[in-house]
A and B are shown apart, each in its own frame.
Chain A
Amino acid sequence: MSSQTASLLVEETNQVNEQSNDIVEVTGIEKVYPGGTVALQGVDLAFPRGKMTTLLGPSGCGKTTLLKIIAGLLDATAGEVRINGKVVSGPGPERAFVFQDFALLPWATVVKNVAFGLEMQGVEKTLREKKAREYIIKVGLAGFEDNYPHELSGGMRQRVGLARALAVNADVLLMDEPFSAVDEQTRRLFQEELLRLLGMENKTVIFVTHSIEEAVYVSDQIVLLSPRPGRINRIVVPGIDRVGKTSDEIRRETGFLDTVEDIWDTLKKYLDDERMI
């Protein structure tokens, strides 16, 4: 093959990637933990740009593992993660993680915490703190800029975590059960705010949750994983039309309730299977 055709080929693939609507693609992902636990097997998934995809499945099926592999925090035993068509093998500025336990620096104020990602990128202090303050206002924490994490409630702490992830302006947000440590009321409020923020910022979100209701309410696409070793069982597209409806109205619609029921049936089967053994 001449070098000319080779370069032509490269160009072609690049073009395909640019057109591709899937910002994150994982292919053939397998994860075996030291000790032999097979957490994931043959996972192929595509995450459409600007959409919210939820990973749902029984406890221990490998949701966190998959999310951390996409984040570049864990190495897969086999398979590839592609971001914008390029294979990645570590964390990158296109992705930002929101942690279940918030992972805030307890010795740093809210501003410093929110600015942390920018600081790691080498953004100069006045600039990064200015940006941090903007996002603190966006997540509704105005007035708490100089407080320390231990002075905030769980819900407020997660807002700090969210602001930190938004401040680095990553295209992809990875969230591991971000609302599991807050009460139901705050949780619902968060879901609304997340949807509002995503509408404004055009992010792609990969979201892990245990709540079927939450998944159906916020997601564009729900990936149902089977019990360990985690495999893709089904992909559900709730297709909820939110325009002009209140949260309560949506939650009472038959379409919403049917989808919740449908997913619950699948998950229940796993539980029953487990009991049979």
Chain B
Amino acid sequence: MNLFGYRVPAAFSLLIWCALWEVIGQLDAVFIFPPLSAVLVKLVTILGQNNFHEAAIISLKAFSIGMFWSIVVGVFLGFLMGRVEAANKLLGMWVNIFASAPLSSLVPVLMLLFGFGQTTIIVTVFLFAVWIITLDTYAGVSHVNPSLNEMAKSFGASKWNMYTKVLFWAALPEILAGIRMGFIRAVKGVVIGQLLVSVVALGAMFSRYSRSFLLEEFWALALILFVFALGISSMIGWVERKVEYYAGSRA
């Protein structure tokens, strides 16, 4: 990043935003923004609270189960669409619609189907994440160099080997990108699910903070989630970079 002709590290822009937040908070300019320092203090308190731990565990559970199935189903559907033209014709449009649809509006329907509990939240997480994983996997599989396919075939690769030794690796960069985006959407899915369904766990905390105008707590919790999502996403980003050495040389 360049600023007034000086090279400054990227983290610097984050510092500027933090400072701006602090100033706005201190000035009491916009009432929904309490000073960052106060938020950070609350953040530490919340991290030590028992009800936060419980909420985090419940949410993590829904998050991981939903995420697990969205990876399994998403990767499977993506491969199916990428390899079977009929499946692509049948599913392609729907997957695209769901990937861009405002899924929150579906949650009430899910409640009717799955009740007012953890199941609905898991399904919400699943639905938030699965489509982007499907789409990215599909993109990866359908762009595999056709001559790799022919090469494997010419050496007598079995169907199983074709998928596990060639296609999967060739599509891995896109699959990982899909999972990374799926994770971020899944974090949203957990919170929205919990807010709409039964106001449990993190959703309950968010709703209590906002109803009682506990804005410092509210932002502290949002920050925690933000950092969590960012942490996971950069972890997957790190794996992605590890496979990037070949992603760039596939053309």
Do A and B truly interact? yes
Contact surface of A with B, Cβ cutoff 8 Å: 68, 71-73, 91-93, 95-97, 99-101, 103, 105-107, 116-117, 119-121, 148-150, 164, 168
- Are B156 and A92 in contact (CB-based, < 8 A)? yes
Given A103-B147, A105-B169, A119-B165, check contact A97 B249 (CB 8 Å). no
- Are A149 and B249 in contact (CB-based, < 8 A)? yes
* A218 CB, min distance to chain B CBs, angstroms: 22
Instruction: Jot down 29 A-B pairs with beta carbons below 8 A, ordered by A.
Output: A68-B150, A72-B154, A91-B154, A92-B156, A95-B154, A97-B150, A99-B147, A99-B151, A101-B145, A103-B147, A103-B148, A105-B169, A106-B249, A107-B170, A107-B172, A107-B246, A116-B151, A117-B156, A119-B161, A119-B165, A120-B152, A120-B158, A120-B161, A120-B165, A148-B245, A148-B246, A149-B249, A150-B245, A150-B246
A residues near B172, Cβ cutoff 8 Å: 107
- Are A106 and B150 in contact (CB-based, < 8 A)? no
A residues near B153, Cβ cutoff 8 Å: 73, 91
Q: Is B224 an interface residue (CB 8 A)?
A: no
- Are A120 and B157 in contact (CB-based, < 8 A)? yes
- CB neighbors of A among B153-190 (8 A): 153-158, 161, 165-166, 169-170, 172
* B238 CB, min distance to chain A CBs, angstroms: 17
- Across the interface, name the chain A residue whose C-beta is closest to B247: A106
A residues near B148, Cβ cutoff 8 Å: 103, 105
* A269 CB, min distance to chain B CBs, angstroms: 33
User: Which of under 10, 10 to 19, 20 to 34, or 35 or more describes the interface residues of B?
Assistant: 20 to 34
- Are A73 and B150 in contact (CB-based, < 8 A)? yes
* A63 CB, min distance to chain B CBs, angstroms: 16
- Are B155 and A91 in contact (CB-based, < 8 A)? yes
A254 and B251 alpha carbons, distance in the complex (Å): 43
A-B contact count (CB 8 A): 67
A residues near B248, Cβ cutoff 8 Å: 150
Q: Is B250 an interface residue (CB 8 A)?
A: yes
Contact surface of B with A, Cβ cutoff 8 Å: 145, 147-148, 150-158, 161, 165-166, 169-170, 172, 243, 245-246, 248-250
| Secondary structure of the A contact surface, majority rule | loop
Which of A101, A117, A150 meets B147, CB within 8 Å? A101
* A250 CB, min distance to chain B CBs, angstroms: 32
A residues near B156, Cβ cutoff 8 Å: 91-93, 117, 120-121
The 9 A-B pairs of least Cβ separation, nearest first, read A106-B246, A150-B249, A103-B151, A117-B155, A97-B154, A103-B147, A107-B246, A120-B155, A120-B157
Given A99-B150, A120-B161, check contact A105 B155 (CB 8 Å). no
* B246 CB, min distance to chain A CBs, angstroms: 4
- Across the interface, name the chain A residue whose C-beta is closest to B166: A105
* Contacts A105-B166, A106-B249, A150-B245 known; 20 new A-B pairs at CB < 8 A: A73-B153, A91-B153, A91-B155, A93-B156, A95-B154, A96-B154, A97-B151, A99-B147, A103-B147, A103-B148, A106-B250, A107-B170, A107-B172, A116-B155, A117-B155, A119-B161, A120-B157, A121-B156, A149-B249, A150-B246
* B239 CB, min distance to chain A CBs, angstroms: 13
A residues near B158, Cβ cutoff 8 Å: 120
Which of A91, A103, A164 meets B145, CB within 8 Å? A103
* A28 CB, min distance to chain B CBs, angstroms: 23
B residues near A97, Cβ cutoff 8 Å: 150-151, 154
B residues near A101, Cβ cutoff 8 Å: 145, 147
- Are A96 and B246 in contact (CB-based, < 8 A)? no
A13 and B43 alpha carbons, distance in the complex (Å): 86
- Are A107 and B152 in contact (CB-based, < 8 A)? no
A68 and B250 alpha carbons, distance in the complex (Å): 23
A121 and B155 alpha carbons, distance in the complex (Å): 8
A93 and B154 alpha carbons, distance in the complex (Å): 9
Which of B155, B161, B165, B245 meets A96, CB within 8 Å? B155
A68 and B157 alpha carbons, distance in the complex (Å): 16
* B202 CB, min distance to chain A CBs, angstroms: 39
- Are A73 and B154 in contact (CB-based, < 8 A)? yes
B residues near A73, Cβ cutoff 8 Å: 150, 153-154
- Across the interface, name the chain B residue whose C-beta is closest to A121: B156
A223 and B156 alpha carbons, distance in the complex (Å): 28
* A222 CB, min distance to chain B CBs, angstroms: 24
A residues near B150, Cβ cutoff 8 Å: 68, 73, 97, 99, 103
* B151 CB, min distance to chain A CBs, angstroms: 4
B residues near A107, Cβ cutoff 8 Å: 169-170, 172, 243, 246
A19 and B148 alpha carbons, distance in the complex (Å): 36
* A24 CB, min distance to chain B CBs, angstroms: 15
